[in-house]
Amino acid sequence: MFFATKLQDFQISNKIISKVNQTGTIVNFYSFHSLTSDLLSSDEFNDFIASEFGWFLFLNKESNYKISINNIEIDYWNIIGENLEFDEKINEFDFSISFIRWNKNIGDKYFYYFLNEEQKECERKHTLFNNKTVDFHHSLYIISDYFNEFKITRLDQPTLDFDGKNQSDVVYKKLLKKLNEIVNNEEKKFIRDLKANKLIDGYNSKNIFPLFKNNEYEQLRKKDLEIVVKEIYCVQPKIFQGLKIPQSKTIVGFLNLLLDTDQRENVLDILENIIELSEDERCELSKALQKTKISSITNLIKMIENRLNVVTVLKTLVFELSKFTNERDHIQKIIENNYWLFGEQYHIVSADKNFETTLNNYLDFTENGKKNKEKLISKEKLKRPDIFIARKSEIIDSESNDYTIEENIIVELKRPSVVIGKTQYDQIENYIRFIINEPKFNSELRTWKLILVGKKVDEWIKDEYESNKEKGKRFLIKSVRNYEIYAMTWDDLFKIFNNRHRHIINKLDFKDTIIESLENKGLIMENDMPNELTKVILNK
């Protein structure tokens, strides 16, 4: 029983010798006026006791030690995030090592606790990872008879009268190296598995990453930047800790600029101006940057190869299998999954849907999730544009007013047997007339580009090219107010693709294996080939 007015001022009563081997300790508290049973049974108090004595209960779990409050046992496992056991033999000594990562901070410093064979603490030493990584709360308990006669000595402490072991002993030095290795590995695992992903998610939600366009190449660049930030964070978390949003944007922005040039290795120099890197950290980070560089290049090559396959298949459908190919089952399906052919930066609104559905998809995109569905009255609402893609751009006008302009593209695809002429032009012009007459579509801040695509164009279309030549836009056949109409052949589209990617395609030896692989399976260039080619492209 304790009687106390101060924490260190107490007396012990009822001292008796126990007649049983299994003993325990009962603590009774008296003369508390503001401490109630509800407080003692609260989660906060239980967590406090677990934080204070969890290590003791853990080390003595084989002895079935426990702490109970009002006959309810404290569950100290709630504060343990991870527990690992290691057995290490150094020279003739055996060491039992327990690594614990705590879910919450159980003290202001992290220690290696050296315990003798009776599990009594002989010494403790700070780990090398104090305050390095936020929330990496850890302790290591090392049990061995090696510590039966062990004491860490200090420079001002005489050692002549001490015959035991100290920190100068070769066994202790080897042990410390092993302990540092364990903590280093677990810290990196903790950062990679838990902290790094949270950092990336936080940077995305706070718009710390630069704005990347919604196309495959730009998204590859974004992924590369995310991987590099994650790798740097895993090597040296302090670089990103405690920064305000502008500071975070500055560092990430510089990284993005360097990664997009041949100065990738200069990332190391910039980081060393921010924080001192050890030689091991520098080597590790250099390897990480090289790894992400290779990954980025590989992904880019894979993307170009996939696009080249798409163009190859479209060429085959249009030029070699024209009598077996139609726009809805073949060309339409491939283009709606590869609309990058008409612009990298766009978002697909609809494919082969009527105008009422298209309008609601469009408003959902431009208004960030419009909930109320719009109804159209005109009979024209049942018309179905093949491909509708759009994007939003922030514009600053001459009066420095910011506003958003929406750029929209409607593509009308024609089967290979159709020659584009006045009839096809009238069809797509009817689309734009319906659009600009519909109040929900006709804002002057929306621009429209309508594109006809077919195997050939007739003389009427070629005359329209000449009529609009002075406007300096290739393939333009009409330009009025906020809309333009274009007519292109498939060969035009394929040439544009080749021009954009020539510098990569010419340097890489891409093999045309899609057609060959299908022919090797026994398929011939007849009516079943368009379906098989379409399946291959859609499944990539």
Q: Taking 80 as the threshold, does the pLDDT of residue 400 lie above it?
A: no
Whether residue 150 contacts residue 114, with contact meaning beta carbons closer than 8 Å, is answered with: yes
Judgement on whether residues 346 and 484 belong to the same structural domain of the protein: yes
Q: Which of 57, 76, 95 is the last residue of a domain?
A: 76
Check whether 431 has a pLDDT greater than 50.
yes
d(CA 356, CA 375) in angstroms, rounded, equals 7
User: Is it the case that residue 337 has pLDDT exceeding 80?
Assistant: yes
Of 128, 139, 131, the closest CA to residue 81 belongs to: 139
pLDDT tens for 142-161 read 999 999 888 777 655 554 44
The confidence score (pLDDT) of residue 395 equals 59
What pLDDT, on a 0 to 100 scale, did the predictor assign at position 197?
85
Does 162 score more than 60 pLDDT?
Answer: no
Return the HEC string of 87-103. Answer: EEEECCEEEEEEEEEEC
Report the candidate in 486, 478, 388, 513 with the shortest Cα–Cα distance to residue 441: 388
pLDDT of the residue at 364? 79
CATH number for 427: 3.40.1350.10
> Do 326 and 432 fall within a single domain?
yes
Residue 200 and residue 169 in one domain: no
User: What proportion of the chain, given as a percentage, has pLDDT over 90?
Assistant: 16
Q: CB 110: neighbour CB atoms within 10 A?
A: 21
Phi, psi of 278 (to 5 degrees): -75, 170
Q: Round to whole Å and give the CA distance between 442 and 448.
A: 10
With bands split at pLDDT 50, 70 and 90, how would you rate the model's confidence at 3? very low
Residues spanned by the domain of 58? 38-76
pLDDT for residue 267: 66
With respect to residue 57, please indicate whether it lies within any of the assigned structural domains.
yes
The answer, yes or no, to whether residue 279 has pLDDT greater than 80, is no
Three-class secondary structure of residue 260 per DSSP? coil
User: How confident is the model over 430-455, as a mean pLDDT?
Assistant: 85
The answer to whether position 145 is within a domain reads yes
Chain CA centroid to CA 108, Å? 32
Helix spans in 316-343 (H): 332-337
Lowest-confidence region among 42-46, 274-278, 405-409, 448-452: 274-278
Residue 483, domain member (yes or no): yes
Q: Is residue 113 part of a domain?
A: yes
More confident residue, 266 or 428: 428
Q: Is the pLDDT of residue 74 over 60?
A: yes
How many other β-carbons are positioned within 10 Å of the β-carbon of residue 37? 9
Q: What is the pLDDT of residue 392?
A: 73
* 358 Cβ neighbours under 8 A, 6+ residues apart: 349, 350, 385, 388
Q: How far is residue 521's CA from residue 533's CA, in Å, rounded to a whole number?
A: 13
Mark whether 51 and 110 lie in a shared domain.
no
Angle formed by the axes of helices 422-437 and 459-467, to 10°?
Answer: 50
- Would you say residue 314 lies in a domain? no
∠ CA 397-398-402, rounded to 5°: 30
**Is 514 inside any structural domain?**
no
Strand partners, 393: 405
Mean predicted confidence (pLDDT) in 125-139: 78
Task: Among 50-54, 237-241, 432-436, 470-474, name the one with the lowest average pLDDT.
Answer: 237-241
The mean pLDDT of the chain is 79
499 part of a folded domain: yes
**333 plus 271 within the same structural domain:** no
Same domain for 203 and 169: no
- Mark whether 172 and 216 lie in a shared domain: no
Contact (Cβ atoms closer than 8 angstroms) between residue 228 and residue 292: yes
Query: Do both 66 and 97 map to the same domain?
Result: no
pLDDT at 527 over 80: no
Asked whether the predicted pLDDT for residue 390 surpasses 90, the reply is no
CB-based contact 251:239 (threshold 8 Å): yes
Q: Is 0.85 surpassed by the pTM of this model?
A: no
Number of domains the chain contains: 4
The backbone torsions φ and ψ at residue 467, rounded to the nearest 5 degrees and listed phi first, read -65, -30
Q: Are residues 64 and 104 in the same domain?
A: no
Q: Dump pLDDT digits (tens) for 293-328.
A: 555 556 666 777 788 888 888 988 888 888 888 888
Q: How far is CA 520 from CA 54, 320, 517, 524, 533, in A?
A: 67, 18, 5, 9, 14
Q: What φ, ψ does residue 410 adopt, rounded to 5°?
A: -115, 125
Q: Check whether residue 365 and residue 484 sit in a common domain.
A: yes
Task: Name the token pair of 62.
Answer: 């084989």
Last residue of some domain: 249, 267, 299? 299
Tokens representing 207 are 């718009």
User: Of 52, 76, 100, which marks where a domain is finished?
Assistant: 76
DSSP per-residue codes, 64-133: T---EETTEE--GGGGEEEEEEEEEEETTEEEEEEEEEESS--SSS-EEEEE-TT--EEEEEE-TTTTTS
Residues 382 and 409 in one domain: yes
Question: What are 183-232's pLDDT values in tens digits?
Answer: 888 888 888 777 888 888 889 888 888 887 776 667 777 888 888 888 78
Q: Are residues 69 and 135 in the same domain?
A: no
* Residue 448 near residue 390 (C-beta atoms within 8 A): no
User: Is residue 117 scored above 70 in pLDDT?
Assistant: yes
The answer to whether residue 345 is domain-embedded is yes
